[in-house]
Structure 1
């Protein structure tokens, strides 16, 4: 039996490690959103997770590492939801509408996630900015691939056009999430779908 297979309290080492990591990510997402990443200490992250600094350093090297991991989890969940929603429709407009709705619903499902994804990660460091750029490029690939499957292509340079589209989506999403009386998601989807179609051409 390997160390990873050993059980403590009925769970393997791997399962316990995954659970601890999840607790750190959930705690970091919440506390960074509530108190702000810049002013939030590592001790506060550990306290929110109910775990020790020793356990933190078994998963991450720095406070910025857990911010990046939390951001990636938010982005991964959103991209999975968007890809699945778009793939469920053969009609291009329906696919774009479904993808946009899935993205907005993924962010709005938890206000802490929206705060971290749209606010707390901005301007943290050169490393974080480079990572955000990599994630934007990943969105570019996802969007370009999804559109190609529906017989459409982005106008101009794909990364620049996708940057324009994702910037518009995130800007509108941020303003929408801050409103006390939010209009229905459908209204945002209508607005953003029109913007998206102005940036694509049919093959």
Structure 2
């Protein structure tokens, strides 16, 4: 008969909080290794050593290395999407201003965190399903644009199919522009975050204007 696990508080910290803290350490270590050394260097042993935890605690949280990688992508996706939504919705200007604010927030996070660059743009084809999982960020941004469109466009809102097509076009196009910028964001000749965000916002507004006129 399996012995029931005894759950105790230590130093005023509950077992659930200790597990959550271990998970946080493992994800943080995985992000750091991935960002500094690449996806292939993210191993169970390496992550545990970096987090200062034994492997038993790793498998308490994740069934495999791949499960950790998916969790890292999830965390990054939430971080970026929340930043964009907060900045865009909080901006009181017109559509161009809202888009510029959202894109600036996104680009600032990616540009300032050296680990994110590799995570959001590096090759992940070696892990089945991870590329598709990472691309879900774009799907969520498309959904957010469609959701926010009525409050921005009002009576000029196009048919659902046309609106979705425009949102997909904007997100896909901006994503490619950002991916190219990320290849060398520190180059003196490269646009600044603000310049790139403004340029992308202008292109998006042009798409919207064409869409609502149809």
TM-score, normalised via structure 1 length: 0.85
Q: Partner residue of 1:150?
A: 152
Residues 1:25 and 2:27 aligned together: yes
Counterpart-to-counterpart distance in 1, 2:7 and 2:185: 44
Counterpart-to-counterpart distance in 2, 1:185 and 1:116: 19
Query: What are the within-5 Å matches in structure 2 for residues 104-183 of structure 1?
Result: 104-120=107-123, 122-151=124-153, 157-158=165-166, 160-177=168-185, 179=187, 183=191
Counterpart-to-counterpart distance in 1, 2:189 and 2:67: 35
Of 3, 8, 15, 2:17 maps to 15
Shift of 1:167: 2.2
Deviation digits for residues 132-168 of structure 1 (CA, Å, limit 9, x no counterpart)? 2333211210122233321166756256424423423
Structure 1 stretch displaced more, 3-12 or 28-37: 3-12
Deviation digits for residues 90-111 of structure 1 (CA, Å, limit 9, x no counterpart)? 4111101100101111222311
Structure 1 stretch displaced more, 30-39 or 42-51: 30-39
Higher gyration radius (CA): 2
Shift of 1:4: 10
Q: Work out whether residues 86 and 146 of structure 1, in 8 Å CA contact, stay in contact via their aligned partners in 2.
A: no
Counterpart-to-counterpart distance in 2, 1:131 and 1:28: 17
Structure 1 stretch displaced more, 103-112 or 3-12: 3-12
Q: Work out whether residues 137 and 159 of structure 1, in 8 Å CA contact, stay in contact via their aligned partners in 2.
A: no
Deviation digits for residues 10-37 of structure 1 (CA, Å, limit 9, x no counterpart)? 2111111111111111110010121211
Cα 1:162–1:17 change in 2 (3 A) is farther
Structure 1 stretch displaced more, 57-66 or 151-160: 151-160
Counterpart-to-counterpart distance in 2, 1:39 and 1:96: 36
Aligned Cα root-mean-square deviation (Å): 2.6
Secondary structure of the structure 2 residue equivalent to 1:126: coil
Shift of 1:69: 0.9
Cα 1:86–1:35 change in 2 (3 A) is same
Shift of 1:5: 7.8
TM-score, normalised via structure 2 length: 0.81
Aligned pairs, how many? 200
Counterpart-to-counterpart distance in 2, 1:150 and 1:181: 34
Contiguous gaps of at least 5 residues in structure 1: none
Counterpart-to-counterpart distance in 2, 1:26 and 1:181: 33
Counterpart-to-counterpart distance in 1, 2:14 and 2:80: 29
